[in-house]
Amino acid sequence: FKKPFLRYDVRTITFKEGYCSLSTSFGRIKAKIIPYDYLNQHKDWTLTNTPTLIKRNKDFYLCLHFKKTVVLKEPSILIGVDLGIKNISVTSDNKFFSGGYLTYKSNHFFRLRKVLQAKGTPSAKRVLKRISGREKRFKLDYLHQKSKELVQYVSELQNPCIVFEKLQGIREQKSKGRKMNRKLSTWTFRKFQELVTYKANQIGVPVAFVDARYTSQKCSRCGNILKSQRTGNTFKCKACGFELNADLNGARNIRKNFTEGQAPQVGLSVNQPLSSAFVTTS
C-alpha cells in the first residue's frame, strides 16, 4: 500500500456482531462494520488474521482478507487460451474476446502522459499523478470484466481445464517496433492470468500453464515450425497450406503442448486474491 496503513492480528483486532474492536495508541476503539454486496458474497468464507487499516484522505478503511478451501474438478475438456493485443484472449474452441477498448484507452493515457511530461510544471505533475491512478483503476476493472467473461464461458463446458502459456520473457520482445513494445510493456497479461486463475479455481475449474515454445510459429494442424508463417493476424502454413487466425492457431498449440506433456503446471497458486487449492480474497 502506498497510502498510510496499519496491519492488525488476532491480538490487536476482534470482531463481534457487526463491530470490530481496534487497538490504537489511545486505547481500543469500537467501530461498526458497514456491509456491502461484495462482503456479503463471502459470508461462508473464513476471515484470516491479517486485516489492514488504510487511511484515504480523511477516511479509514479496513481491508479484510478471507480464505476458502476448494476442490478442483477432474478435467475432461482442455481449453487452450492465447493472449494478445487485438483480442485479449482467444480459446482453442474458436471463442474470441476483444481487447480493442483496452488498447484504445492505453494509447489515450499514453498521449496524455506525454503531453503532461513535456510541460513539467507542478500542476502538470499533480494531474499526471491523478491520471496514473485513474489508468490503473481502469485497467484492473477492465481485466476483471474480461476475465469474468472468459471464466463464465468456460464454466458452461463439462469439466473444463483452462490452459495458459507461461509468460517468461514476454516483455523482452525488442524486435517488434516501438509502438508494439509500448503495448506489450503496458499490457497486463500476467494480471489477467491471475484473475482468471482465481475466478476459475473459485468454482472448481483448474488452470494449467505450459511451455510457450513455438506456439506462434507452429502449424496447429501439421506441426510445421517456421517464423514466416504468421503475417499480422493471419497464420498460413507453408507446408500444408492450412490458414486461420493467428491467435486461434496459438490457442490450439497451447492446448496441444499440454496434451503432449511439455512440463504442465496445473493449478498454479497466485498471491492475490485467490489460489487453486487454498482460496483467499480481500
H/E element, 143:
helix 122-155
| 256 in Cβ contact with 80 (< 8 Å) | yes
Domain limits, the chain: 5-68, 77-276
Among 198, 96, 185, CA closest to 144:
198
Q: Report pLDDT digits (tens) over 145-164.
A: 999 999 999 999 999 999 99
Pairing, β 234-236 against β 27-32: unpaired
Give the angle subtended at the CA of 44 by the CAs of 38 and 48, to the nearest 5°.
Answer: 80
Distance CA 213, CA 130 (A): 40
Distance CA 1, CA 56 (A): 11
pLDDT, position 23: 86
Q: What pTM value is reported for the model? A: 0.78
Report residue 133 as a C-alpha cell: 491512478
pLDDT, position 98: 95
Q: Residue-wise pLDDT tens for the chain (282 aa)?
A: 455 677 887 778 887 877 888 888 888 888 887 777 777 777 778 877 678 888 888 888 888 777 888 889 899 999 999 998 889 999 999 999 999 999 899 889 999 999 999 998 999 999 999 998 899 899 999 999 999 999 999 999 999 999 999 987 554 444 455 555 555 554 679 999 999 999 999 999 999 999 888 999 999 999 999 999 999 899 999 999 999 999 999 999 999 999 987 444 454 433 333 332 334 444
Report residue 264 as a C-alpha cell: 504442465
Distance CA 102, CA 145 (A): 11
| 242 in Cβ contact with 224 (< 8 Å) | no
User: Distances from the Cα of 58 to the Cαs of 4, 53, 138, 241, in angstroms?
Assistant: 11, 13, 24, 64
DSSP letters of 160-210?
Answer: EEEEEE--TTGGG--TT-HHHHHHHHH--HHHHHHHHHHHHHHTT--EEEE
pLDDT, position 218: 95
Give the angle subtended at the CA of 87 by the CAs of 168 and 264, to the nearest 5°.
Answer: 35
pLDDT, position 187: 62
Terminal-to-terminal C-alpha distance of the chain: 14
pLDDT, position 117: 92
pLDDT, position 213: 86
